[in-house]
Copies of this chain bind each other. A is one copy, B any other.
Amino acid sequence: MVWIKVEKNDKRLLIDSITKKARWVRKETLKVHKIAQGTRIASSLSCVEIFSVLYYGKLLRHNPKDTKWDGRDRLIVSKGHGSICLYPILADMGYFNLDELARVCREGSFLGAIPDPIIPGYETVNGSLGHGIGVGCGIALALKRKGNERKVFVIMGDGELYEGAVWEAVMFAGQHKLDNLIVIIDNNKACMLGFCRDIIDIEPIGEKFAQFRWNALRIYGHNVETLYDTLKGLAEGKQDSGQDSSQDVKQDMGRDVGYDVGPNCPTVVVADTIKGKGVPALESDPISHIRNLSPDEIDKIMVTLP
């Protein structure tokens, strides 16, 4: 059991340690891409801090020794393709050996370009977009019926919101007051073929969820402390805590700040992020999604990273 209670005065230390870990995760993710060019690197760099805060911030209850532990929070990685940064984290947590990171996409490995649920630590099938939130609804409802107080976290892409199945689930969760459901949107403003605003502009995202009776929060998704405060509040069941009022948002095109439509609502956290975060060539490229970084490029980037 990895989850432990964190005292207030430990917070600075914790934030620092998460920050350090996040840096390590970013580098390891690039290393994986160096040997496994089939992986989606830009998509996996925008959510490094989100996953790092959930795991290293000890907000997510989980147990690497018992992946079926009933006391765990359920984490559904709906944007599976863009979660390669979770490989180093899961290895670091002890779900599998760190050596496995050197075998991604290799014959005999269980770590693929898109993660399958054969990987310890992944709850569901997630290579196809738009499934996670609906499955999350089912889990959240089941937990309620079982009297299990754990939370369901779903990590989604912003382009993923174009899938109709997502909105079926959004409607359902609002109606059934699934307040144990927390959806985090890695709002990196791009999908595969370009910027989302040029394809279908669905900003402000939070307002749309609020219409369907969700609480909506908006934060900057690369600020570890903001993420920590927000997600800690949610993990503890406070739907309005941790709002990022400082608005350290770089590419934020949204207008919504925070909706509190009442108690017993599901929550969406719109985390403004940068696709390819940390790699300038990717950060500015509308089709960073399908860009591979050559081993050479990666070597050059590595030395520039903190």
Contact = CB atoms under 8 A, between A and B. Distances in A.
Interface of A: 162-168, 171-172, 174-175, 199-202, 207-208, 211-212
The prevalent SS among residues of A at the interface is helix
Given A163-B168, A164-B167, 9 more contacts: A164-B164, A164-B165, A164-B168, A167-B167, A172-B200, A174-B200, A175-B200, A208-B211, A211-B211
Number of copies: 2
Contacts of A211: 207-208, 211
A172 B201 CA distance: 9
Nearest to A210: B211
23 contacts: A162-B168, A162-B171, A163-B164, A163-B168, A164-B164, A164-B165, A164-B166, A164-B167, A164-B168, A167-B167, A171-B200, A171-B202, A172-B200, A174-B200, A175-B199, A175-B200, A175-B201, A202-B212, A207-B211, A208-B208, A208-B211, A208-B212, A211-B211
A164 B175 CA distance: 16
Nearest to A161: B171
Nearest to A198: B175
Contacts of A174: 200
Max count, chain B CB within 10 A of own CB: residue among A165, A199, A211: A211
Contacts of A201: 175
A13 to B, nearest CB: 42
Contacts of A167: 164, 167
A174 B199 CA distance: 11
A167 B164 CA distance: 6
A264 to B, nearest CB: 14
A212 B171 CA distance: 15
A199 B201 CA distance: 29
A255 to B, nearest CB: 12
A136 to B, nearest CB: 15
A288 to B, nearest CB: 22
Nearest to A213: B201
Contacts of A162: 168, 171
Contacts of A199: 175
In the A-B complex, the 7 residue pairs with the closest CB atoms: A164-B164, A167-B167, A164-B168, A175-B200, A164-B165, A171-B200, A208-B211
